[in-house]
Amino acid sequence: MISRYMKRRVINTVNMAIAVLMTVFGVFWVVWILWTTLHYGIRALGPQLFLEDTPPPGADGGGLRNAFVGSLILLGIAVAIGTPVGVLAGTWLGEFASRHKKIGASVRFLNDILLSAPSIVIGLFAYAILVDPLGHFSALSGGVALALILIPVVVRTTDEMLRLVPVSLREAAIALGTPYWKMVTKITWKAASTGILTGIILGVARVSGETAPLLFTALNNQYFSVNLSHPIANLPVVIFQFAMSPYANWQQMAWAGAFVAVLFILLLSFGSRRLLSRETHRS
């Protein structure tokens, strides 16, 4: 009996040690990747990074100004399209879908699938509906591709946040004779605003690193451009191109771009998390 007990104890200790090891293993990668990005990125950081455009092959100097501006424009398009569509669709799910349980459940289901769909397929779709018929790559098609990735994130958070709004608020409004649409726009949206905003920020954080859908929509542009119907430089594709290149200064610039991108994304993620936790603490 003792030996059997000992055996169980040993198995337990070994397995628990493995669990701890696995956690260390997971944390190890985060540290390694972030440290590398920081290490190489900071060395290449400088004012010229934000003041000069991407250099031609072989040339010295240069920066990523056109890529930063292009990425911000693409994000702007994505938010401009993705926010209203996502919030309204999420509002239907959160406020009206309880009347049509089956339809609501299927829309949620499809939205969740869209949320995890491969981004390269979204890019192919944007190519098929915008680039192919119009005959040229454009910033607009890149923005639409990013919006398609942003929308399911916004839909989901809007839906979840609206369903967290207390019923008493709705009842109070209805009891005062408020029309339903006014109750939603003036009261439940307001009550859920922090949560919805968090969803949008998280969506932007996710979208801003996306590369695959931009490869054949926004393409890339060696020059500074703000024209929505032309190819536009953008950070992810420039990083991809520069990191794969044989030029040392290009690779260095790719690290600098990666550093800025990671910093931006981490700030957005932490910012939205803080926003949400402050909100939940207050209420």
Closest to 115 in 3D by CA, of 150, 80, 147: 150
Minimum CB distance to other proteins smaller for 33 or for 51: 33
DSSP three-state, residue 215: coil
Minimum CB distance to other proteins smaller for 69 or for 258: 258
Q: Cβ 232 to other proteins, closest distance in Å?
A: 15
Minimum CB distance to other proteins smaller for 51 or for 266: 266
Q: Cβ 67 to other proteins, closest distance in Å?
A: 12
- Helix-, strand-, coil-residue percentages of the chain, each rounded to 5: 80, 0, 20
Minimum CB distance to other proteins smaller for 14 or for 51: 14
Q: Cβ 186 to other proteins, closest distance in Å?
A: 12
CB 233 within 8 A of CB 222: yes
DSSP three-state, residue 148: helix
Q: Cβ 127 to other proteins, closest distance in Å?
A: 8
Report how far residue 209's alpha carbon sits from residue 237's, in angstroms, rounded to the nearest whole number. Answer: 10
Closest to 65 in 3D by CA, of 260, 216, 209, 265: 260
